[in-house]
């Protein structure tokens, strides 16, 4: 689905990849409803939109709150007249600790934002999308959704759930005009730890480790995601690390798991 003249809803639109998605969609001629829990961040996104801001609406919504999400489609339609696309981008990580040391409140919060937030948004907007001549849903999973990352096991499980939910949704909607895409970002240079309320206090990475980890710029990630949306891709890998590890996991999943453990073990407390 080409995004020009379409109305696209983007969650997590106040920062990182979400903000860059909002700005890119606006430059490509879309009308955008940016959704975020942080009103100040949304206002910053609005300021950055500059001359395109007349095609942007901002919505302070907690996507874990089903009642708040249920009111959002009508708010978007009131602002833009319709809704043609949904990009479920909002997500948080967990503290870098093992499952045995992770509090249940954190576990539930990660799943509520990453998985149930995606379900809430999809369920509420899908009836409206099905009425459109063409429409598209993009759900952002993670490289951690197919590759086990020590210290991010619950985060990975929530993103794996997003993956299979999206793939099932794709199959359910094959005989409709709604296309569905699942996205797997690798390392992207966002401040997701701070936005997740996570402090990383483990030892600094070595120079050798730093040389292996080259985060993609959020704007570049946004370009890849929108391109995948416009080409109706089933899976979109964002970054060379995501592409490489996807292949590695398919060829030798156990070796891939051991490799990522060696790369990430310094982030785990003893």
**What is the average per-residue pLDDT within 235-252?**
94
Could you tell me the pLDDT band of residue 193, with boundaries at 50, 70 and 90?
low
Active site (annotated) includes residue 155:
yes
pTM: 0.91
Tokens at residue 212, please? 């292996």
pLDDT higher than 70, residue 137: yes
Average pLDDT value over all residues in the chain: 92
pLDDT higher than 90, residue 198: no
pLDDT score for 4 = 98
Q: 218: Cβ–Cβ under 8 A, 6 or more apart, which residues?
A: 16, 17, 19, 20, 188, 189, 190
45: closest CA among 24, 23, 76?
Answer: 23
Q: Active site residue: 104, 128, 155, 170, which one?
A: 155
* Neighbouring C-beta atoms of residue 15, cutoff 10 Å: 21
pLDDT higher than 50, residue 81: yes
The span from the CA of 118 to the CA of 72, in Å, is 14
pLDDT score for 202 = 45
**What is the average per-residue pLDDT within 17-46?**
98
Q: Which residue has the higher pLDDT, 204 or 4?
A: 4
pLDDT score for 212 = 55
Give pLDDT tens digits for 111-136: 999 999 999 999 999 999 999 999 99
Domain boundaries, the chain: 7-267
Give pLDDT tens digits for 34-78: 999 999 999 999 999 999 999 999 999 999 999 999 999 999 999
Question: 13-22, 171-180, 261-270: lowest mean pLDDT where?
Answer: 261-270
Q: Which residue shows structure tokens 């699942």?
A: 182
What fold does the segment set 7-267 form as a domain? Rossmann fold (3.40.50)
């Amino acid at each position: 689905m080409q995004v020009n003249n379409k109305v696209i809803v983007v969650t997590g639109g106040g920062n990182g990849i979400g903000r860059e998605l909002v700005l890119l969609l606006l430059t490509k001629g879309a009308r955008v409803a940016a959704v975020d829990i942080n009103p100040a961040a949304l206002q910053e996104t609005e300021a950055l939109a500059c001359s395109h801001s007349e095609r942007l609406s901002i919505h302070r919504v907690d996507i874990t709150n089903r009642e708040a999400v249920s009111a959002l489609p009508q708010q978007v339609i009131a602002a833009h007249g319709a809704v043609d696309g949904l990009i479920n981008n909002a997500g948080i990580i967990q503290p870098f600790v093992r499952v045995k040391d992770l509090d249940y409140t954190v576990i539930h919060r990660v799943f509520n934002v990453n998985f149930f937030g995606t379900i809430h948004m999809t369920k509420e907007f899908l009836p409206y999308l099905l009425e459109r001549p063409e429409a598209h849903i993009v759900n952002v999973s993670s490289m951690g959704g197919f590759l086990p990352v020590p210290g991010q096991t619950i985060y990975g499980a929530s993103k794996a759930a997003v993956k299979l939910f999206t793939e099932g949704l794709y199959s359910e909607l094959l005989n409709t005009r709604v296309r569905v895409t699942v996205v797997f970002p690798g390392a992207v240079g966002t401040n997701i730890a701070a936005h997740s309320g996570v402090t990383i206090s483990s030892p600094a990475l070595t120079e050798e480790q730093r040389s292996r980890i080259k985060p993609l710029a959020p704007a570049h990630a946004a370009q890849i995601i929108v391109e995948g949306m416009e080409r109706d891709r089933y899976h979109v890998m964002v970054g060379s690390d995501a592409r490489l590890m996807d292949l590695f996991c398919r060829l030798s999943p156990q070796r891939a798991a051991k490799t990522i453990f060696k790369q990430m073990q310094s982030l785990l407390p003893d």
